[in-house]
Amino acid sequence: MGFVYEDEELELTYKGEVHKFRAPSAYEQKAMAKKFKESDEKTDAVDLYIEFFKELGLPEDVLGKMSLKGLLDLFAYAVGAKKN
């Protein structure tokens, strides 16, 4: 049997409620990095993170309640920079 790949499902627990979302693809991570590189002082990083996570399946109302630190930690978790 060869290599088998399945989309990875991740979880965010917020106030006891579990929200499942998919891990970002390599292309999605690349596009996100490009958005940050091309952003200027008028670009709100929080909006970029929220849009990214909405595309992965997390609800905007939960994301909007998180701090920037929480969004950064979630990003590190989602891209594998922190142990899952």
Question: What distance in Å separates the CA atoms of residue 24 and residue 52, rounded to the nearest whole number?
Answer: 9
Is the pLDDT confidence value at 83 over 60?
no
3-60 pLDDT, tens per residue? 998 889 999 999 999 999 999 999 999 999 999 899 888 888 899 999 999 999 999 9
Instruction: Give the count of beta carbons closer than 10 Å to the beta carbon of residue 69.
Output: 8
Which of 33, 13, 12 is CA-nearest to residue 23?
A: 12
Task: Note the pLDDT of residue 39.
Answer: 87
Residue 45: what pLDDT?
87
